[in-house]
Each structure stands twice: as structure tokens, then as C-alpha cells.
Structure 1
């Protein structure tokens, strides 16, 4: 079988199964098993598939995935996250478009707790969007910040997708997690800047209103009690990774343990919280690990079919500058991101991109960060960004998909601008990892 024939069959089969509603993990594994059967000698090839599955997930560096997911799940189900949003609201009363700015702040905080964009969009969209509409906010300004802030969960550590990307690409998980910090902060600042400028120039889009005054002493007390402790756990986890005091796996375990302690100190650690947190974390972790096994098999099938060598030769002999090649690759990811979710994009593209990255001599961490921004963009890109559909499910009655698409446009443009900046100025992504021990 020619390599291009294999790729056509693979993508047609994968797309067909996903359109039928088969979960990504099982669709990937089904297509891989068919590929193994026809290319590796029938049923005898399944033994090699089992070895690939075992080697792809039997590794210590993947332990942070379930640990970070559990850490965020405990904070979410124990009610720590909503309390943090209330404290942020107390501090932002004087800012133009404060509810939209609060949404970005809350999304940034939730990003450090959940690492899952759809969860943040669901929570913020069901709580803050109706409140903004009640206060007379323009619908696009009531929806757009929710979409943008939810996507921050992908770009602010501890990001589950960053760990998956680093694992698939064979990159340093620690450096990848540290490298996305600065772009994540820059993106949040850009979002807030856009909102404040729009609310100042068009006050009718974000009408001001009187708020209940909270004494400074009360705000400081709430900050020290409800905001600083959970944020400190996340910061401490990142500092451990950055300084080399602990590996990402050890840092994730420490952070999860401290999260349980904090939930206990708040009086929220009961059997119901533990059961809900562990159950949701287990489901998501198993799904991600199954997807990773499919990626390993896909990489081997690519190599066996000759696609890896052919694509690498094509890319390295293409009569364009390396920067143009990078832009083409990111454009491909952007287009794919309009139709399928991020983990699938990683599994489909990274085995193809990796040989090109090495052949071109690019810094892998830089590529990973640019890729992460692109994947973050995929959550809010029409027509099929997952966060768009989640937003439709929690948006006020009467909200159309067209309005949601329009609300996402400014934040899409901000993301693209950040991605371009990272491509042309790699030091933005590489500066912080270069300081690591």
C-alpha cells in the first residue's frame, strides 16, 4: 500500500467514525487496529500493537495527567472555585466593563484549577453571561469573554493538553508547562485590554451600575482566606517544576495532596465531594490515556507505510523559507481545528510534524508553545469549536449560533496575533524555560 493511500484510508475512516458519534479515543483505536490488521500481517500484528500500547502509557512522566486533573476536580467540586470568583468580583468594581473583565479573571483562575476549556465555559457561561445581559451588556460582550477565558485553560499550567502534547512529541513536560506561562498571561492581558477599550469607547455595550461597597478589611480577609491559598498551591506546583526541586510528576502529586488538605480545612472534604471529584477525574484521565495509546500506534503505522519519510523529504525540499513552512503547518492546524477537537489534532498532526521539526532544526519547545496557542484557538473557531457548542447550551434563551460566532471573532483575532508574535519572536516562549535548572 502506498503511503498516501494509507493516509487517505486512515483519515476517511477516522472522520466517518467521528461523524457517527463514536468517541475520539475509540475511533482512533478502531482505525489503528484495521491498519495493523492489513499492514502488519493480520492478527499477528496485534501483538505488536499491544506492545505499542504498553510502552506508550507505562511511563512515569504521564502520571501528572491524572494528578493535575484530580487537583482541579477537587477544587471545582468542593466549591473553592466559585468562592474565588466572588473575591475577584469585590476587587474589580471600578473597572469599565467590570463583569467582562471579571470573566477573564475568573477564567484565568479556573484555568489553573481545571485545565479543561469546556468546563470553564460551562461554569462562566451559566453564571456570568446571564448577569451581564441583565445589566444591559451587548450580547457579544456578554459571550465573547466567556469563550476567550475558557480557552485560557489550555494555555495556563497545569494544562493537561500541554502534557499530552509534550508526551506525544517527546518534549520536556516541565519546560513545556513553564513555556506556556508567559503566552498565557499575555493573552489574558490582551483580552482585558480589548474589553476595557471597547467598554470605554462604547459605554452602551457595558453600562456602568452601582455596586455594593465592601469594606477594605473584608476584601483583604476574603483574599487571604479564599483566594491566596488555592492560587498558592498552583504557584507552588509551578515553582517546584521551574526550580527543579521536584519533577512534574512529583509536583502534581504534591499539589493534589495540598488541594485535599485545603478542601478539608474549608470543611468541604466530604464523601460526596471525593466521589464526584474522583469519578470525573477518572473518566477524563482514562479517555486521555486511551487516546495516547492510539497516537503511539498511529506513529508506528506512519513510519511503516513510508509516510514519515516521504512527508519529511517533501517538507525539507519545499522551495520556501523555513518560516513560511512553519506558517503553512500552523494554517493546517487552524483549518483542522475548525472541525475536530484539540486532542485529536495533536494525535493526527504531531506524528507528521515531528520529523519536520527535527529536520528543520527548530527548537521543540518553541514549536510546542505555538502549537498550544493554535490549539487554544481551535476551541473557539467556527463552525465546530467545542466551546462554541458548550456556550450555546448554557447561553440565555434566544441566543443564536451566529451571535456566538460573532462574539468569538475579536478573541480569535487576538489569538492569531499572539501566535504570529510567538512565531516571529521565539524568545517570548523560550525565555522562561531557559532560566530553569
Structure 2
């Protein structure tokens, strides 16, 4: 009979080795689950039980929002509604110094509410704004940094598919989690905007001012009514319905998807071809995510069945360190992992171990979940191997080096660390909006 730490080391070690060898995440989990169930749970009968439990978890309606959020994002981008939003924002920023950098933050917030996909936001904002910034004489810290930072808001402002995955794996209420991430996400956006304002004030050359034709107030209001207000209605159809207790997260996600399709139809941007392509692409992404989630749920159950989870909890609970320091160590370990791994593998490997410990300490798991999400996004834009950095490299103009991207990311990483510190010290940032919900 193996000790709990031997079992944990064997399962996690095998999983990491398979990933390092290049095996897709879902199949790495599948291989470890099958072998682990056969060895530790009694052969074929153990595998059968694991399959039954996993099937039950995967057929839960709590996973439906993932597919709905994917449809929303695909229709938004393919119909050009996202570009309309950028045009409307442009009219409001006018001649403000650093206006394109502020547009990156504003666009990041709005696209986050539409897609929940940080890599997609980096690709879109990077390809559309960076060339214009360079043409206007912006220096690289103010062309690349704001986009890297603000695109990371995609998982911090609902609808967020990754937040749904976290809620399912950690067994947290999805609706409460989607509401809990709103204020921290907006806090991060404000920190980015304050940095841009301060940097442009201290060093005006980093974002030279340039003349643009000032849009009349009537034109700005019309653009807002036509392009931004409808987005607000879609967001309300998701977040507002959850907050007011009108709909469950699954129902709210469906209403958001319907509202998005109706908006594209109203703008005469929705063709049969566009709709079918959106459904096909969103289905492919959803199936990939759901397969990974299924394997992660099975892995979580395997750890619990073998006693590895409870052994880890007992060890951590007896450490001569304050509980908050242990939680802080967890958060920083996620950031470090984020430099080398994608968000999903980090989430699926660490949550089964971290969440039971947090609950055992008596902390609010929603508070930890928000810290977890900020840490994951911070890691994805952290040197040397954060995935967001390489997406930016792919869409940045010729001549942009990884050194340029690294240095541009640092100030916004500092803003992320400040956001983590504020949420860590003031849990009310997370718990207060949740307490106002109409359950």
C-alpha cells in the first residue's frame, strides 16, 4: 500500500511528463486516469466506476454556459459588431493624450464581456491598434503593454468561460462566481488606466498627441446608442439576469447568446453562412473544453479515492505557517506555473488540491477563486513563456522583439500584483457584490 504522497507524486508526475512530451492535455489526463483507476481502484471495475461518475458530472447543465459564451464571441467577431464598438469608443476619446492606449483598455473591457477569450482579445487588439499606434509615434511600452494587460480582463469580466470551468471543477456556484469577478476585473482596468495616465503625464513622448477630427456630441451619442448601448443590453441579459435572480447561469447564458444573434440580425450582419460558421467554430472549442473538463473531473475523483487529497490537506493544515500565508503561496505558485503552462492545465491540476485546503481553513472559496483567476491571467502574460506574450509577438509589427514585449508587459504585471494584493487584503471587493444578489 502506497503512502498518500507517493500516490500524489506518481499521478502528478506522470501527468506532467506526458504534457512535457507533447501529449494534448485531455489525452494526458485520460491516460493517467485509466492507468490510475486500474491500479488503485480495483482494475476494470474501478475504471467503470470512474466513467460513470465522470459521465454524471459532464451531463450537468452547469456546463452549458461554456457553449453559449463561445457562440456569443464567435457571432460578435464574425459579424463585425466588435469593430463597431471600437469605432464608437474612438469618437469619445478624441484628442486625449494616449487615446489609443486608453482605447486598448476600453476595448479590452468591452471585448471581455463579449468573448471571455484573452488570446482572442490580444490578437484582435494587437492587429488593429498596434500598427496605428506605431504610425502615430507611440513608443513600444505604450503600444504593446496596454493590450497585453487589458486583454487579460477576458477571464475577469463575465461572461467568462474559464470562470465557468473553475466553478465546475471546484464545485462552486457559477452564478455567484460570475458576479464575484466583476469588481476585481473593473479594478484591474482602472489600475491600467491610471498607469497610462501617469506615464503619459510624466513622459509625454511615449504617446505623442496628434490631431484628430473632433466628433460632434450628437455623433458620439448616436454612435453610443447604435453600437455600445446594445452591448450593454446583452451584458445585462447575462449578468443582470443572474444578479437579479431572474435566471440561472445556464438560462442567462442562453439569453445572452440569443440577444447576440438578434443584434447581428438587427444590424443585417447575420447570414446563414456566418451563423453556421459561428456554430461550427464554437462547437469545436466547446467540445475541446468539455473533454478537458471531463478528464479533470475524473482526475479529481481519482485523487480523492486514493486518499491523496486528504493526505495533502492534513499535511498543509499542520504546517507551522499562518493560513493566509499558505493561500498566498498557492497564488504565487499559480503565477509561476502560468509562465510555462496554459490556464486550463494549471486550473485542472491545482484546483483539486488547493480548494479543499482553502475551505478547510475557513476562507470563502469564491474569494480564493477570484485570486486564482487573476493569478492565472498574470501568469499568462509573465516572461519568459506566458502564452499571451507569444500571441502578441505573432500579431505585432515587424521588428518587434520578445525583449520589447517583455519590457512592455512589466508595468501591467505590477498592476496585476497590486490587484492581487488589494483583493487579498480586502475580500469585500469579492464578497460585497455577491451579498447583494437576489437569490
For Structure 1 versus Structure 2, the TM-score category normalised by the shorter chain is over 0.9
C-alpha contact (below 8 Å) 2:5/2:311 kept by paired residues: no
Hey, what's the Cα distance between the residues in 2 that align with 1:81 and 1:21? 35
Map 1:19-418; keep pairs closer than 5 Å.
19-418=20-419
Q: CA deviation at 1:389?
A: 0.9
Q: CA deviation at 1:42?
A: 3.1
Hey, what's the Cα distance between the residues in 1 that align with 2:231 and 2:247? 19
Hey, what's the Cα distance between the residues in 2 that align with 1:219 and 1:275? 34
C-alpha contact (below 8 Å) 1:2/1:305 kept by paired residues: no
**Structure 2 unaligned blocks of 5 or more:** none
Hey, what's the Cα distance between the residues in 2 that align with 1:223 and 1:211? 19
C-alpha contact (below 8 Å) 1:147/1:387 kept by paired residues: yes
Hey, what's the Cα distance between the residues in 1 that align with 2:20 and 2:400? 25
C-alpha contact (below 8 Å) 1:132/1:142 kept by paired residues: yes
Hey, what's the Cα distance between the residues in 2 that align with 1:130 and 1:102? 14
Residues 249-303 of structure 1: CA deviation (Å, up to 9, x unaligned)? 1111111111111100111110221122112211111111111111111112212
C-alpha contact (below 8 Å) 2:95/2:214 kept by paired residues: no
C-alpha contact (below 8 Å) 1:56/1:292 kept by paired residues: no
Hey, what's the Cα distance between the residues in 2 that align with 1:63 and 1:354? 23
Q: CA deviation at 1:74?
A: 1.0
**Structure 1 unaligned blocks of 5 or more:** none
Hey, what's the Cα distance between the residues in 2 that align with 1:418 and 1:371? 12
Map 1:421-436; keep pairs closer than 5 Å.
421-436=422-437
Structure 1 stretch 253-262 or stretch 215-224: which is displaced more? 215-224
Residues 305-345 of structure 1: CA deviation (Å, up to 9, x unaligned)? 32111111111111111111111111211211111111111
C-alpha contact (below 8 Å) 2:94/2:215 kept by paired residues: no
C-alpha contact (below 8 Å) 1:148/1:191 kept by paired residues: yes
TM-score, structure 1 length as denominator? 0.97
Hey, what's the Cα distance between the residues in 2 that align with 1:266 and 1:160? 26
Q: CA deviation at 1:32?
A: 1.8
Q: CA deviation at 1:202?
A: 0.5
TM-score, structure 2 length as denominator? 0.97
Q: CA deviation at 1:386?
A: 1.1
Hey, what's the Cα distance between the residues in 2 that align with 1:109 and 1:138? 25
C-alpha contact (below 8 Å) 1:392/1:400 kept by paired residues: yes
| Count of residues in Structure 1 that have an aligned counterpart in Structure 2 | 437
C-alpha contact (below 8 Å) 1:95/1:196 kept by paired residues: no
CA-based RMSD of the aligned residues comes to 1.3
Hey, what's the Cα distance between the residues in 1 that align with 2:268 and 2:22? 41
Q: CA deviation at 1:68?
A: 1.4
Structure 1 stretch 115-124 or stretch 306-315: which is displaced more? 306-315
Please identify runs of 4+ aligned residues in structure 1 that moved more than 4 A.
none
Q: CA deviation at 1:56?
A: 1.8
Q: Give secondary structure in 2 for the equivalent of 1:63.
A: helix
Hey, what's the Cα distance between the residues in 2 that align with 1:182 and 1:358? 22
